[in-house]
Amino acid sequence: MAEFGIIGSTVPGQHIMANKFFPIALKVKGVKARAANILKQEMLSRMGDAVISRENLLKMESLTDVIIFGTEKSLRSLAEKIKLQPFGLKNLSEEIILYLSELSRSKSKKTISIKEKTFDLSIEGPLIMGILNITRDSFYDGGAYFFKKQYMARIEEIVSQGAHIIDVGGMTTRPGSKPVSVQEELSRVIPAITAISKKYDILISVDTYRSEVAKQAVGAGAAIINDISGFTMDDAMPGTAASTGASVVIMHMQGTPENMQNDPVYEDVVDEIYDFLFDQAEKAKAAGVAREKIIIDPGIGFGKNLEHNLEIIARLSDFTNMGYPVLFGASRKSFIGAILGGVGASERLEGSLAAAVYSYINGASILRVHDVAQTVAAVKVAKSIREII
């Protein structure tokens, strides 16, 4: 109903559409009014429908958003019919066909392959990514694992508690933080990654937005580059990711860690993040990153307020429609503390587990967490319940 209102459909029309059921709903942006009218008529003739703005239809040269409802069969038929039509419908036809092929692919594919490991999510559930912060000032455990003896004990804990991935970071990205030098970041993460790769059979992720750090980390044994900036803070990162052959996490962040929480604003938070992730994934593929190596992350807490974070979590399944695995990281973050009355990071375990379970049910393939054992247990229960339904 909210999306219908944004498009500008009439209130009676919104209620009529809400009472219909269609298995697929596609939102198409920036459609010419003439094309929108054609889409409406073509979908009605195929026992589907389209929500459009009546006001924009009267302005035949204007652009409007359209929500198309139908079955996979009716949408394929639509794509075939409009591929020779004017007003930009040929391009839309190609996009619909591509989307439907990816939809079929994502429905049938329940595995994630990273480096030489392949995981069947239908059996193992979401992958658990344990956090290792080799920093002095991370928001939750800054300084706790800064020295080798400390971080080696943390690595052993993460492995023994059942994580599939260790995410190694050498620079805090909490709100208000400032970057350290490249050499300082390298001096923190490379020894740890080297130690992990020599001693343990576990996938390693490097949490960095710098291409030089990413390159050296992969050389030391990392299999994943986790870029919180989604390639916006280092233009060389897409090419580096492609040349190393590593998997890559493309995350959304509004602003930089230093200023991202200074009153973040969105017109439609899910739409804007979706568009960004889609565009950056295309940039990665254009640079040579294989599609199956791309993971997306909506970036909980990175340039989002409480309401933004909650809407992202509630609509997390929207991001799965892109066809890439979705990583979710809400562990111990401040929005959980706000919901619980302003409690500190040390008191946010239960809230973190609730967010993790909800995100798993809503489509997350990877959970990035501080509390590995507790998350493994919580998800195991949720997975057992889900298998009965």
CA distance 335 to 94: 40
Specify which residues 281 forms β-bridges with.
Answer: none
CA distance 255 to 64: 29
Could you tell me how far CA 73 lies from the centroid of its own chain?
28
- Residues, the chain: 389
DSSP single-letter state for residue 228: T
Cβ neighbour number for residue 296 with a 10 Å cutoff: 27
Residue the block writes with tokens 């979706």: 274
* Residue 333 among the catalytic residues: yes
Query: Could you tell me if 50 and 4 are in contact, meaning their C-beta atoms sit under 8 angstroms apart?
Result: no
Bridging pattern class, strands 49-51 and 63-70: antiparallel
CA distance 46 to 162: 50
* Residue 304 among the catalytic residues: no
- Mutual orientation of helices 372-388 and 349-361 as an angle, nearest 10°? 40
Residue the block writes with tokens 């190609």: 94
| 43-47, Cβ contacts within 8 angstroms, sequence gap of 24 or more | 43/68, 43/69, 43/70, 43/74, 43/78, 46/70, 46/74, 46/77, 46/78, 47/71, 47/74
Residue the block writes with tokens 């596609």: 26
The catalytic residue among 368, 380, 383, 386 is 368
Burial of 234 (0-12, 13-18, 19+ CB in 10 A): middle
Structure tokens at 306: 């409480």
CA distance 249 to 324: 10
**Residue among 260, 226, 225 at smallest CA distance from 245:** 225
The catalytic residue among 154, 174, 333, 348 is 333
Catalytic residues: 333, 368
